[in-house]
Amino acid sequence: MRDTERSIRVALVGCGYWGPNLARNFHQIPGSDLVACCDLNQQALEKMGRLYPSARVTDDFASICEDETIDAVAIATPARTHYVLAKAALQSGKHVLVEKPLALSTREASELVTLAEEHSRVLMVGHIFQYNPAVRYIKQLIDQGALGQIYYLYSTRVNLGRVQSDINALWSIAPHDISILIYLLGAEPEWVSARGATYLTDGIEDVVFIDLGFPGGILAHVHVSWLDPSKVRRMTIVGSKQMVVYDDVADEGKVKLYEKGVYRKGEPGFGEFQYRVHSGAIMIPKLDLVEPLRVECEHFIACIREGRRPETDGVNGLQVVRILEIAQASLKAGGEPKRIQEVEASCL
């Protein structure tokens, strides 16, 4: 930021579980100011007011939209309100950062993308892991070919708590995994299937298992749940040359790179193949010690300032929502695999 540039003035909408983290970052980042906090919960507002005396607190979202001194709105409200709030903010000419999922349907997400283009505003979705040094490091490994051919990936993202009653574990947790997969593989899946089960709230799956078929025969598997004895955030990427385990809750070694593979011993022709297992060193790289949310917020501010598209822009948000929507259809159909194209055609 040049000294002469004025700060981007940001309002936070939604001061519950996650919102305060956004507030803290927009308050601390050079080049942005936290100027307003909005929530219906008075206690949450009071707390924000104490922490950030220079920010206006209000329970009137319309007043945020009408305030012409506000440049951007960060939305961290329950998922079912994302569409309505983001739409209103974009229509008022604000730049918008929405927590994941961008919306609860492809139609709504598409509309937000279109609105952002019409109003020439930045629309960004908080796919935070795309700003995580571990994920970026793995992306580099894949792009450099260090893993060889990618065979398959699987992810477990479970814990006990943060039970939602409006959206299921698929919509609440899996956006992280799906956005990571798209980012790492640089492609969208060709098909998806999902199976889940409901124990606590009627119609809301507490645990969901998702399979996604990516181009080139790459298989991805995702397990999400808020009913698990342990907090697990682990993704394994199996390549022909090397393998990676990314454990986001590990103390030491969030990323482990295994020099491991299975190779054919001989050529086909005479009898069965036999395989040789190679198992070499394990490397735990040093990762940057940055807060991914800080990187995300700085990127939002930089995109506004420079008129750039965010890496996790509205289209990226739409991609993820579309896959969730099809996964949800598979879930309702008892796990029947669904091609992405078919649904895509029907929804446009």
Question: Which residues of the chain form contacts with a second copy (CB under 8 A)?
Answer: 53, 151-152, 154, 160-161, 163, 165-166, 191, 193, 195-201, 206-207, 209, 211, 217-219, 221, 223, 225-230, 236, 238, 240, 243-245, 249, 251-253, 256, 258-260, 262, 264, 272-275, 277, 279-286, 334-337
Q: Which residue lies nearer to a second copy by CB, 33 or 206?
A: 206
Report the alpha-carbon distance of residue 24 to residue 93 in Å, rounded: 24
Q: Which residue lies nearer to a second copy by CB, 131 or 226?
A: 226
Q: In what order do the strands lie in the sheet with 123-125?
A: 56-58, 32-38, 8-13, 72-75, 95-98, 123-125
Q: Which residue lies nearer to a second copy by CB, 107 or 275?
A: 275
User: Least distance in Å: CB of 345 to a second copy?
Assistant: 19
User: Least distance in Å: CB of 168 to a second copy?
Assistant: 14
User: Least distance in Å: CB of 237 to a second copy?
Assistant: 9
User: Least distance in Å: CB of 305 to a second copy?
Assistant: 24
What phi and psi, each to the nearest 5 degrees, are found at residue 3? -60, -30
Question: Shortest CA distance to 224 belongs to which of 214, 209, 235?
Answer: 209
Q: Which residue lies nearer to a second copy by CB, 37 or 331?
A: 331
What residues have CB less than 8 Å from 221, skipping those under 6 apart? 152, 153, 154, 155, 209, 210, 211, 212
Q: Which residue lies nearer to a second copy by CB, 31 or 285?
A: 285
For every residue of 186-231, which 3-state class applies, written as one string?
A: CCCCCEEEEEEECCCECCECCEEEEEEEEHHHEEEEEEEECEEEEE
User: Least distance in Å: CB of 251 to a second copy?
Assistant: 7
Q: Which residue lies nearer to a second copy by CB, 64 or 153?
A: 153
User: Least distance in Å: CB of 75 to a second copy?
Assistant: 20
Q: Which residue lies nearer to a second copy by CB, 110 or 330?
A: 330
Report the alpha-carbon distance of residue 331 to residue 335 in Å, rounded: 5
Q: Which residue lies nearer to a second copy by CB, 281 or 348?
A: 281
Report the alpha-carbon distance of residue 100 to residue 127 in Å, rounded: 6
Instruction: Give the 3-state secondary structure of residue 346.
Output: helix
Q: Which residue lies nearer to a second copy by CB, 91 or 149?
A: 149
CB 183 within 8 A of CB 139: yes
Question: Shortest CA distance to 223 belongs to which of 159, 139, 146?
Answer: 159
User: Least distance in Å: CB of 287 to a second copy?
Assistant: 9
Separation of first and last alpha carbons in the chain: 40
User: Least distance in Å: CB of 310 to a second copy?
Assistant: 29
Tell how strand 227-239 and strand 243-247 pair up: antiparallel
Structure token pair of residue 66: 């009408």
What phi and psi, each to the nearest 5 degrees, are found at residue 326? -75, -40
User: Least distance in Å: CB of 290 to a second copy?
Assistant: 15
